[in-house]
Amino acid sequence: MRTPDEHRALVEDFLERLAAPDGLGGLERAVHYALAGGGKRIRPVLCLAVGEAAGADPEGVLPAAAAVELVHTFSLVHDDLPALDDDDVRRGRPSLHVEFGEAVAVLAGDALLAEAFRLAAGYDTPEVVRELSGAALGMIAGQYADVTESEPDLLRLHARKTGELFGAAVGCALWVARVPPAGQAPWRAFAAEVGLLFQLVDDVLDGDGYVRVHGIEAARTLADTVAGRAEVRLEELPADTSVLSELVQVLAARGV
Amino acid sequence: MRTPDEHRALVEDFLERLAAPDGLGGLERAVHYALAGGGKRIRPVLCLAVGEAAGADPEGVLPAAAAVELVHTFSLVHDDLPALDDDDVRRGRPSLHVEFGEAVAVLAGDALLAEAFRLAAGYDTPEVVRELSGAALGMIAGQYADVTESEPDLLRLHARKTGELFGAAVGCALWVARVPPAGQAPWRAFAAEVGLLFQLVDDVLDGDGYVRVHGIEAARTLADTVAGRAEVRLEELPADTSVLSELVQVLAARGV
């Protein structure tokens, strides 16, 4: 079994070599700028680790894992736009629209989304695209609620903006590993806990979202509970989930 | 064989009933506003007509045809944005960002693109998504060249911004009709002529693009030549292409 760091190295390498079929011309530079931001790659690592635990070859899961990261990056690029969250800095660097201008940022986000589906369509089953398009729609709906509602329901918002893509990271891996639908429920229950854990810890680190409404102690307590539930889910799975358990611990420890 | 008008009625009905799986909340209203603009639906009609000529049931081609129209509409919504072409009017109505604001326009375009892939992934073959994602990437690259280059190569730009999606409209129909790859080349040659014809006539109507460089007479002459070539391509096809021939004539007559 590969460690999370080994999975991450696979993802970095794949993303670096990624090129659109006919080339995107100058837009490719903006796309790679967005992808090279040095994020934690948690979603694709989760995808690879679930795939391996479920019996798939990591090399075979890699395009799906990269597609998940592209959908995530697409959402960051568009959410950062002046008309939306208006964030000038992303992962310590100028956000894409600051570096390349707003027009290029819109188009680079579009290209990331389209490229994600191109990668997902490389599999012989359409399930990977179904998983990813459903998650993308959920994220977009979540972002819409975020920018238009004055008091959105936070846990529901989390579920859409973060949870859907964590669900797809796991779901894509299950389809690639050919886990039949009847056997997917416990894996998906694990995904739901991991997505919620990730968002709660993010809120603790940013003093945002759940923390702003319920306070930091309540957020930490809930995160611990959720991490515990994720571990219980893993124990129920008929697989070697040691690497996934390590991932849960890494995610939970971010907030301490 | 259904007439182009009958195909168009099928498309209108399908788009009206279209709803994202879990609902997009308030964003659905913006998505339907964009889709209800009363466009000519040339791409989905072409998709349905090719599908029927190639032996597919139009009902079965409909999701692919709608997906093509969604990708087209996505590109209009994003291209109209202030940072890109800054168009306030689209098909005689306020463009989406004027009616709903820029944030919603970015998200509605994203939702249209994601929904297109959700529809395309409803088929049991991933070829429809492959076709559509390749075309979307080509269109995005074309729009990038359009906003960043001072003197872009016009015919190459046409091929990307318009031709790629006409190609996908035909290509998706071929996959749904299960035309084997070895038999697709003449259909695709026809698609290339139709896409070029459409763009040339558009330029004649708008006094834009090719017309601005070569003059209106040269554009009209080239459009006639291209329409003739499209008809020749149809004659080569082992199918009843009478409806497609009618479509070519309708497209050519727009500019007269």
Residue A222 has pLDDT above 80, yes or no: yes
Cβ neighbours of B5 (radius 10 Å): 10
Contact list in B for residue A26 (CB cut-off 8 A) is 144-145, 148
* Band of pLDDT at residue B84, cut at 50, 70 and 90: very high
Structure-token pair, residue B50: 């090719």
Would you state the pLDDT for residue A20? 58
Task: Report the distance separating Cα A84 and Cα A87, nearest Å.
Answer: 8
Task: Report the distance separating Cα A175 and Cα A68, nearest Å.
Answer: 14
Structure-token pair, residue B112: 């249209």
Would you state the pLDDT for residue B132? 98
Residue B129 has pLDDT above 70, yes or no: yes
Residue B32 has pLDDT above 60, yes or no: yes
Task: Report the distance separating Cα B233 and Cα A104, nearest Å.
Answer: 38
Would you state the pLDDT for residue B248? 97
Asked if A141 lies within 8 A of B84 by C-beta distance, the reply is: no
Task: Report the distance separating Cα B137 and Cα B147, nearest Å.
Answer: 15
Contact list in A for residue B78 (CB cut-off 8 A) is 106-107, 110
A231 to chain B nearest CA, in Å? 29
A249 to chain B nearest CA, in Å? 32
The sign of the torsion formed by the CA atoms of B64, B69, B70, B75 equals positive
Task: Report the distance separating Cα B186 and Cα B68, nearest Å.
Answer: 21
Q: Which residue carries 């998706």 as its tokens?
A: B172
Residue B54 has pLDDT above 80, yes or no: yes
Asked if A113 lies within 8 A of B115 by C-beta distance, the reply is: no
Mean pLDDT of A84-107: 95
Residue B59 has pLDDT above 90, yes or no: yes
Residue A247 has pLDDT above 80, yes or no: yes
Asked if A27 lies within 8 A of B144 by C-beta distance, the reply is: yes
Residue A256 has pLDDT above 70, yes or no: no
DSSP one-letter string for A149-196: -SS--HHHHHIIIIIHHHHHHHHHHHHHTT--GGGTHHHHHHHHHHHH
Residue A255 has pLDDT above 70, yes or no: no
Asked if A129 lies within 8 A of B117 by C-beta distance, the reply is: yes
Asked if A129 lies within 8 A of B111 by C-beta distance, the reply is: no
Would you state the pLDDT for residue B81? 98
Contact list in A for residue B136 (CB cut-off 8 A) is 110, 114, 117
Asked if B103 lies within 8 A of A21 by C-beta distance, the reply is: no
Would you state the pLDDT for residue A18? 86
Mean pLDDT of A164-193: 97
- Residue scoring higher pLDDT (A39 or A112): A112
* pTM given for the model: 0.96
Asked if A67 and A172 touch (Cβ cutoff 8 Å), the reply is yes
Range with lowest mean pLDDT among A46-60, A103-117, A135-149, B39-53: A135-149
- Residue scoring higher pLDDT (A29 or B155): A29
Residue B225 has pLDDT above 80, yes or no: yes
* Band of pLDDT at residue B38, cut at 50, 70 and 90: confident
In this complex, which of B101, B106, B123 lies closest to A78 when CB atoms are compared? Answer: B106
Digit-coded pLDDT (tens) for A17-61? 887 555 687 899 999 999 997 778 999 999 999 999 999 999 999
Asked if B133 lies within 8 A of A117 by C-beta distance, the reply is: yes
Residue B144 has pLDDT above 90, yes or no: yes
* Band of pLDDT at residue A177, cut at 50, 70 and 90: very high
Would you state the pLDDT for residue A22? 55
Asked if A137 lies within 8 A of B143 by C-beta distance, the reply is: no
Mean pLDDT of B206-215: 88
Across all residues in chain B, what is the average pLDDT? 93
Contact list in B for residue A21 (CB cut-off 8 A) is 134, 137
Residue A115 has pLDDT above 70, yes or no: yes
A2 to chain B nearest CA, in Å? 30
Would you state the pLDDT for residue B183? 95
A253 to chain B nearest CA, in Å? 33
Structure-token pair, residue A194: 């991991």
Across all residues in chain A, what is the average pLDDT? 93
Residue A229 has pLDDT above 90, yes or no: yes
In this complex, which of B74, B103, B133 lies closest to A83 when CB atoms are compared? Answer: B103
* Band of pLDDT at residue A193, cut at 50, 70 and 90: very high
3-state helix, strand, coil in chain A (%, to 5): 75, 0, 25
Which of these, A216, A191, A196, lies nearest to A206 by C-alpha position? A216
Interface of A with B in 5-64 (CB under 8 A): 20-27
Delineate the domains of chain A, giving CATH numbers in brackets: 4-180 (1.10.600.10)
